Amino acid sequence: MIKYLGSKRTLLSALVEILQGFPELTHVGDVFSGTSRVGHACKRAGFRVTANDHNAYAHCLAQCYVAADLEDVHADAQKLIDEFNRVPGKPGYFTETFCVQSRFFQPHNGARVDAIREAIAQKHLPPLLHAVVLTSLMEAADRVDSTCGLQMAYVKKWAARSFRDLHLRMPEVLPRSKHGPCRALCSDANQAVRVMDVDIAYVDPPYNQHSYLSNYHIWESLVRWDKPETYGVACKRVDCRTRKSPYNSKRTHRQVFGQLIAAITAPLIVVSFNNEGYQSRRELEGLLAEHGEVFVVTKDFKRYVGAQIGVYNPSGDRVGKVSHLRNAEYIYLVARPPLVTRIPDAIARLSQLAQRIDDSPAVDERISLQVDRVTSVMQALTAVGTATRSELRKHTGLSDYQVRMALDSLTGAGRLIVGAGGRAKVYSLRE
Ligand SMILES: C[S@@+](CC[C@H](N)C(=O)[O-])C[C@H]1O[C@@H](n2cnc3c(N)ncnc32)[C@H](O)[C@@H]1O
């Protein structure tokens, strides 16, 4: 699969293990599919999958890895890939733009991409077969590129892999799912969730200002083959200036994310979250807790390759500092009320799964987070004397679920007096 910022390669086994804990749920929706690794792993594990991403290159990957079934495309795709591997190079738009005006690929490989892409266009293939051979070309080009995995810049000296000859391979298309047809959508996520009738919604949005279209503009142009005007050193498509995601703006992220979660009807929501984004853990947990019981699994990782090797300007000089080389990835599991109606022991299963999969260092962090919440509730009660649960929510900024957990801890420690105040219970601290 292609190199991709935020790809969930390292989280796959944990994600699949969680989902396999619920064999009653058979249809997974991957709302921001990117490389489609997650959807692919779910389909391989037997799930029916619907994938969505608003960029054309990601939709192409989803058609190949999720929507296409091996039984339908394998023989034709293999024949075409063998044929394209014999096509000689003929320089065109791709070579001129990405090998001459910029240096993302060596010209001999650029010319092969041009010739093969034109040959694909002339075949007028059925959509899923078209996507499989196009994915094969995209991945072949990715294996001989001269970048650090992002197309905002190319490396100063040719990368060693760029000298190799472009060679297409058959992508790992999977057999049909027994639970029904898999699909690939290409819409805005907030629209897509309204038509995705799935049991599990997997949500992995962009978490900061870095636009996926700008970072992978070459794949977008290769897939669309619309030969657009370009700008800047990286020869980005001009529409990178206008096609924006609200998830890449600090101003709109929180609002659209909240609307997305509220629009999901799936009984189980699984959210990937990274501690380097616009939202803090506290904000995210507060928001998710409005929609059901929340469990968190923490995974501790190295940061993406750009951060490992440093930050460089287009002339290859090291600029800026890398702040840290490890980051935590969080998987939030939100059990919405219909899950418990459908699977009565769902909460117990989620709790066991979360404990089993969690990386150990995070346990301390979780405990300290819970201690923080208890402290916030105690401070609020010390300040105001008595308060109802909804007043405590206002005073602490915690969600109702988090306030309840903190109150349970204080009750367990014998620190709480519970009184009746009208219709709501009133809480105060025991001296
Ligand atoms: C963090 S990546 C997902 C990575 C993916 N889980 C993987 O393993 O490859 C976020 C994805 O969201 C897509 N995206 C950004 N804004 C979107 C929007 N408003 N609607 C749909 N997709 C969007 C981007 O194209 C990108 O592929």
Neighbouring-strand partners of residue 227: none
Token digits of residue 100: 């001459």
∠405-407-408 over CA atoms, to 5°?
A: 65
- Residue 201's DSSP bridge partners are 29, 269
CA-to-CA dists, residue 263 to 13, 27, 194, 196, 364, angstroms: 27, 17, 7, 11, 33
Residue 402 belongs to a domain: yes
Residues contacting residue 413 through CB under 8 Å, at least 6 positions apart:
none
Average pLDDT of the chain to the nearest whole number: 89
pLDDT for 7: 82
Tokens encoding 40: 């692919």
Residue 368 placed within a domain? yes
> Could you tell me the distance, in angstroms and rounded to a whole number, from the CA of residue 107 to the centre of ligand 1?
30
Q: How far apart are CA 121 and CA 225, in angstroms?
A: 9
Residue 208 lies in a domain: no
User: What's the average model confidence in pLDDT over 274-290?
Assistant: 86
User: What is the CATH number for 421?
Assistant: 1.10.10.10
Q: Are 29 and 193 in contact (CB under 8 A)?
A: yes
* pLDDT at 306 exceeding the cut of 50: no
**More confident position, 285 or 306:** 285
Q: Is residue 428 a contact partner of residue 412, using CB atoms and an 8 Å limit? A: no
What value does the mean pLDDT take over residues 320-341? 76
CA of 189 to the centre of ligand 1 (A): 9
CA–CA dist 131, 397 (Å, integer): 47
| pLDDT attached to residue 368 | 53
Cα–ligand 1 centroid distance for 138 (angstroms): 18
First to last CA, the chain: 61
Mean predicted confidence (pLDDT) in 196-220: 95
Number of H helices, E strands in the chain: 18, 12
**C-beta contacts of 366-369 below 8 A and 24+ residues apart:** 366/296, 366/298, 369/281
Measured from CB, residues less than 6 Å from any atom of ligand 1 are 4, 6-8, 32, 34-35, 37-38, 53-55, 58, 188-189, 204-206, 212, 245, 247
What is the pLDDT at residue 55?
Answer: 98
Residue 321 inside a domain? The answer is no
Residue with the two structure tokens 């189980």: 268
Other C-beta atoms lying within 10 Å of the C-beta of residue 394: 12
416-421: strand order across its sheet: 386-387, 424-429, 416-421
Q: How many domains does the chain have?
A: 1
Q: Find the 219 Cα to ligand 1 centroid distance in Å.
A: 14
Q: Is 333 left (phi over 0), alpha (psi -120 to 50) or beta?
A: beta
What is the b/e burial string over 350-368, where b = at least 16 CB atoms within 10 angstroms of the residue's CB?
beebbeebbeeebeeeeee
Residue 382 burial (10 A CB sphere; 0-12, 13-18, 19+): exposed
Supply the DSSP string of 314-327, one letter for each residue.
Answer: TTS-B-S----SEE
pLDDT of 355: 85
pLDDT 10s digits, 76-128: 999 999 999 999 999 999 999 999 999 999 999 999 999 999 999 999 999 99
Q: Say what angle helices 37-44 and 12-20 make with each other, to 10 degrees.
A: 40
Asked, for residue 416, whether it belongs to a domain, the answer is yes
Domain that holds residue 412: 359-429
Confidence of residue 362 (pLDDT cuts 50, 70, 90): very low
* Predicted confidence band of residue 309 (pLDDT cuts 50, 70, 90): very low
* 3-class state of residue 273 by DSSP: strand
Q: What does the pLDDT read at residue 320?
A: 54
Residue 67 phi/psi, 5-degree rounding, is -75, -35
Establish if 237 belongs to a structural domain. Answer: no
pTM equals 0.81
Residue of 61, 151, 196, 247 best suited for mutating to test ligand 1, as the one with most atoms within 8 Å of CB? 247
Give me the residues paired with residue 230 across strands.
Answer: 237
Q: Report if residue 318 sits inside a domain.
A: no
Pocket-testing residue among 30, 53, 196, 273, ligand 1, by greatest number of atoms within 8 A of Cβ: 53
CA 43 / ligand 1 centre spacing (Å): 19
Find the helix or strand (DSSP H, E) in which 82 lies.
helix 70-84
**What is the structure's pLDDT at 378?**
87
Q: What is the DSSP string of 93-159?
A: HHHIIIIISS-SS-HHHHHHHHHHHHHHHHH---HHHHHHHHHHHHHHHHTT--SSS-TT---SSPP
Residue 404 belongs to some domain of the structure: yes
Tally of residues, the chain = 431
* The pair of three-digit structure tokens given for residue 97, joined into one six-digit string: 């733009």
Q: 403 or 58: whose pLDDT is higher?
A: 58
Write the pLDDT tens digit of every residue in 3-33: 998 888 888 888 999 999 999 999 999 999 9
Among 88, 89, 90, 44, CA closest to 66: 44
